Structure 1
Amino acid sequence: VRRLLEQLAHLTETGEFRAFVREGSGAAGECGGGRTATAAGRPLLQQVVFLCEETAAALRTGRAAPGPQPMDKAIDAFQRMRVRQVTGSADEAPTVQGPAPAPVPVPVPVLRRQAALLAVAESVRILEISVRVGLDGRRTPPIEPRELFWYTQAATPRLWARRITGNMTIRSVQFQNAVRIAVALAAARLVAGSLDLTHGFWVLLAVLTLSRTTVGETWTAIRRAVTGNLVGAVAAGALLIGLGRHTDAYAAILAPAMLIAFALGPLLGIAWAQGLFTLVVATAFAQIAPASWQLAEARIVDVVTGSAIGLLCAMLAWPAGARREVRRTMAGLLQECGPLIKGTVDTLTAVPPGSVPAPSTRPALHRLRLAESAYAQFRSEPGVDAPVRADWHAVLITAHHIVLGAQWLPRFDLPMAALPPDATDRARAGAHALAQTTDRLAALCLGRQP
């Protein structure tokens, strides 16, 4: 939706849509030669409008819009018209009368407007399919491009397997977090069992609730949690001394205490949450067995022990969080984009057309998922002091466009006849230059000399 709205806003603000309509009506004399081209594109524009309206209605009503076959046919017809413009004979192709008596090719601005309209149509089709899948659930028939919508026909075990295997790499922040928590819980279990701590499960609970993705954030959470537990322990000790063994009093207090702790704790912060939870724990345990102020003492010992273990693991395992990982994953993503660009152009310029298979986008999609996870965690980690000098979101958007191009261009832009040698050389030179640019950016992400 964001991509489509940006495209529509750009074409509207630059006057491209207005020029497109003028060409279709013949209002602009200097663009009169584009009337035939625009007339051929009018069904595509009408299909864009229709699918936008149908998708909006589907979102309002919760019922899926019709399938994308009409859009596919409109795109194919539009592309055949564009190919005829540049490969057909002079009397076949739409032309404009220039100063010379002979006809000249369609102006470049008209060709660019056609390409922009095609990009809008592709965005609308992807949006319509995504909404349909979201409303109807999985679809058994394969949806093109299959590499983009592969999950619609995948069985649940395959989805789980791909999610797990995709994150079984040291470059995955999900894998890093899982390893960190697993090591911390194992150490907490070992310490609690070895020291025979009272209510030792509180040690593991402290590790789970106080561990963060950076050492700085973990230390901040531990400081506040220990402070809240100290205050809560003092209050719990006073409560246990004051009420003694009157279990009816504890039973009357428990429900309001739990309501206050679990409702206000998350809103007021971790210190309040830990302090109020200590009171709830003391109130609950006092009903099960005779309890004294030493229960609050045991909770403090367990929380401090779990906090120390969690802090130690945070210091040893990826202490900087996703700050460095986002650079590495973005570099890996950009490195995958270069071969994808060149492979796509090789498919389009092959002789005969289609003799070279389209490149697989799965490696780039895998890198894209890793980079998205690292970026999401990076943005969720507060307190980063060093300024961010790279627009990582722009890298993700660029890579997404490259992946979409690799999936869509062989499907809709495959030439019907071999391209002229000079056009092939220009296309391959442009792809090589663009791939070199992504490699240079990848080197910059890693701090190397580009």
Structure 2
Amino acid sequence: MWGWVRRRDPQLVVVRRAVRVTVVACVGFYFCRYVLGDAAMAPYALFGVVALGALSQIPGSPRQRSRTLIAVLPVGWVLVTLGTLLSFSTVAAAAGMFVLGFAVSFAGVGGPRLVGLAAGMQLLYILPCFPPYDPGSLPSRLAGLTLAVVLLAVAERVLWPDPAPPPYRRRLADAVSLLAECLGALADDRSRLPALLPEATEAADALRPSRLPPTERPASAGRRDRALSSAAGTARLLLGRAVDLYFTDDREAVTGAAATKLLRVTAGCVAATGDWLRGDGPLPDTDLVAAAISDFRAARLNTDPNGLPPERLRLGALALSMGEWTKSLVVAVRVAAGETPKHPDPTPASARPGQFWYAYERTPFLWWHRLRENLTPRSVAFQGALRLAAALAVARLIAGALDLSHGFWVLLTILTVLRASAAETRSALRPALVGTVAGSVVAALLLLLGLDPVVYVIALPVVMIAGFAAGPLLGLGWSQALFTLVITLVFAQFTPVDWRLAEQRVADVLVGAAIGVLIGLFAWPRGGAGELRRAVATFLTSAAAVVRETVAVMAEGQPPGDALPRARGAGQLAEASFALYQSERHPPAPLDWQAALVAGHHAVRGAEALVRSCPSGGLLPCVAQLTELAGEVAASYERSAGSLTRGKSPPRPADGPVQQWPDDLGQDLYIIADLRVWLDGLRADLTNVTGRPEPADNLRDRVSRVADGAT
């Protein structure tokens, strides 16, 4: 038995939590019920621990979780107080449930810490919003909750604490250090890259949100998480472009020596970044890589490209783009360290917010901005919060209208079974109902035996440990069955109960399940899958506008418009939809959603670097060729977006137009090479969207799975 548990829970995280929550809940409950004799305080001492210890998933180390619990205690006081005061009326309680249910759930857009707390915080309002209306008991209720939170915060630190998860910064350090080795190989010995790439690819892949538990993703609204996420995306992008450079012929490349020097400095800066992330070195500075970029540009200025074919300029263009992205990587890490960029935001005012706009803003504004940008029906966070709030409010109205004696079970069932899509809700419904019925039958038999109350006192902690561990280890059905027994054992210690308590539990669960299913059918029933198609299509359409606008700025000198800010916002909503989609169960997808997001992010990140680093205008002699090439790439993006909107797989992009490029424009030929490298890369990105990714056998395909700029 113990071996089976260790196989499913190697670090005993589930078992530790079950024991910790049970001990704290029982100590608080027994102390209030039997030592203080306060029947109003006891349930809040117990359910406060259940809400924040079992229903909540708080990320971080034991110290961080302890601090989080103390920080949310005032919010818990507010929820219990409002629930108590609004319980005088079914309508008032339901209205409060809708408003607070939406607010608590929607606040999860602020990051995984708030997402993990949402379900538990909902329970803190649900419990007191039912009759009896007893404002006089409010001090006892708040005291019980306070006792629960304080005991739980202490237990997180001293009672069999969980092992601290590896910090995201450590994962990023590993990926960045391995990337530095790959860049060093490109500069000094290309033949080493194939041997280095598998481990570097795996480390980069480990940074993907889909490879991380939701509680460990750097997804909060603050500067640090935004910067770490940006650094991860830049590192993956650099790895992909390193492979592009590996396949670029360097034997006749112009400015090849200068490009090698730039790559060598780039590798050193990336290595220093990895050292700092690991805690082994000083915070890196952008001055070194900025100086190397300037030296490379000077070398290009001193090398006349007239008469040279475009292929001989490609390697330098790739090396320059890698230098620019390395500078972005260092800036992101410095922002994560709490540093404000040395120079004002270089993004033109018309194109703001720029890539690092958040580095110049205060934390309260960043949180408000995150809430505001998701306050739209097109946000999956908004949809999920509204769906849950509506279900809980309707359940509260029905429970009040039917005068259900334990109506909070109806709402608790909704928290348990309601999922992001109707299909997911239905899949959770059967085990929840079977488990509840089975637990109720056992509870009824237990109550029919008329056991001594001491038996309930002794049995409660044993059943609680099994119940809290059963969900993650055995599934929802076992969890519901054992939780039904827990509730029975708790209520049996308050008032005389009989077998009808189990009958009421089944009836309440059936009502809650029916409400959850109906709301799930009418409110965005497709969940993340339906919204993902629309969000990714919008993102690709926005990326097409970025492509056209960037070439217009570079070739014709037009002022930057709002294409970049719009695409950044569309990308954030698409990423949120993809994150929800990954949390659901789906059949094998006919296309690679990650590759579609990669294509959009590459357009945005590449345009940012070009607009920032290259002069605008001045390419009029070849504006027709550039506009045609950009139009073809942008049209491929728009065709892909249109196919997604119609529910079809995007077509593969056509080959680029055969064009005659001038070779007598002097230094402007280098800018043309930079633009062509970017546009050719975007077309290659779109080819990865169609069809499910298969195991790759070559360097380029292996890295294409992870080398994205997504944040």
Fold equivalence (TM over 0.5): yes
Question: 2 CA distance for matches of 1:255 and 1:448?
Answer: 52
**Residue type matched to 1:254 in 2?**
L
Aligned residue pairs total: 409
Offset from partner CA, 1:8-58 (integer Å, 9 cap, x none): 24434x3x4xx64xx6xxxxxxx3x83xx1333344222211112101211
Offset from partner CA, 1:64-114 (integer Å, 9 cap, x none): 6322122223223323433x3xxxxxxx5357xxxxxxxx73453331111
- Partner residue of 2:414? 207
The range that moved more, 305-314 or 164-173, is: 164-173
Question: 1 CA distance for matches of 2:524 and 2:403?
Answer: 30
- Say if 1:155 and 1:307 are closer, same or farther in 2 by CA, change over 3 A: same
Question: 1 CA distance for matches of 2:361 and 2:495?
Answer: 53
Whether 2:404 is the aligned partner of 1:170: answer: no
**Residue type matched to 2:583 in 1?**
S
**Residue type matched to 1:300 in 2?**
V
- Partner residue of 2:448? 241
Q: Which runs of 5+ in 2 are unaligned?
A: 1-234, 348-352, 652-711
Which of 272, 276, 282 matches 2:488? Answer: 282
Whether 2:641 is the aligned partner of 1:435: answer: no
Larger Cα-atom Rg: 1
Paired residues of 1:236 and 1:282 also in contact (CA < 8 A): yes
Paired residues of 1:330 and 1:395 also in contact (CA < 8 A): yes
Paired residues of 2:259 and 2:320 also in contact (CA < 8 A): no
- Partner residue of 2:425? 218
How much has 1:397 moved relative to structure 2? 0.6
The range that moved more, 248-257 or 178-187, is: 248-257
Higher RCO (CA 8 Å, separation ≥ 6 residues): 2
How much has 1:347 moved relative to structure 2? 1.6
Question: Please, what is the CA RMSD of the aligned residues?
Answer: 2.5
- Partner residue of 1:410? 611
- Percent identical pairs in the alignment equals 36
Which of 499, 509, 521 matches 1:293? Answer: 499
- Partner residue of 1:398? 599
Whether 2:530 is the aligned partner of 1:327: answer: no
- Partner residue of 1:304? 510
- Tell me the secondary structure at the aligned position of residue 160 of structure 1: helix
Which of 366, 370, 374 matches 2:573? Answer: 370
How much has 1:144 moved relative to structure 2? 5.6
- Partner residue of 2:277? 59
Whether 2:307 is the aligned partner of 1:105: answer: yes
Whether 2:357 is the aligned partner of 1:189: answer: no
Runs of 4+ residues over 6 Å off in structure 1: none
- Partner residue of 1:381? 584
- Partner residue of 2:72? none
How much has 1:281 moved relative to structure 2? 0.9
- TM-score relative to the length of structure 2: 0.54
- Partner residue of 1:93? 303
Question: 1 CA distance for matches of 2:561 and 2:522?
Answer: 44
Question: 2 CA distance for matches of 1:8 and 1:45?
Answer: 10
- TM-score relative to the length of structure 1: 0.84
- Partner residue of 2:621? 422
Paired residues of 1:358 and 1:406 also in contact (CA < 8 A): no
Paired residues of 1:348 and 1:410 also in contact (CA < 8 A): yes
How do 1:224-235 and structure 2 match up within 5 A? 224-235=431-442
How do 1:14-25 and structure 2 match up within 5 A? 14=247, 16=248, 20=250
- Partner residue of 1:87? none
Offset from partner CA, 1:96-155 (integer Å, 9 cap, x none): xxxxxxxx7345333111112123223323333333333x14637556666112222322
- Partner residue of 1:74? 292
Question: 1 CA distance for matches of 2:638 and 2:260?
Answer: 40
- Partner residue of 2:95? none
- Say if 1:201 and 1:64 are closer, same or farther in 2 by CA, change over 3 A: farther
Which of 261, 265, 270 matches 2:467? Answer: 261
How do 1:9-48 and structure 2 match up within 5 A? 9-12=243-246, 14=247, 16=248, 20=250, 31=252, 34=254, 37-48=255-266
Question: 1 CA distance for matches of 2:552 and 2:562?
Answer: 9
- Say if 1:340 and 1:231 are closer, same or farther in 2 by CA, change over 3 A: same
- Partner residue of 1:27? none
- Say if 1:237 and 1:140 are closer, same or farther in 2 by CA, change over 3 A: farther
Question: 1 CA distance for matches of 2:299 and 2:598?
Answer: 30
- Tell me the secondary structure at the aligned position of residue 449 of structure 2: helix
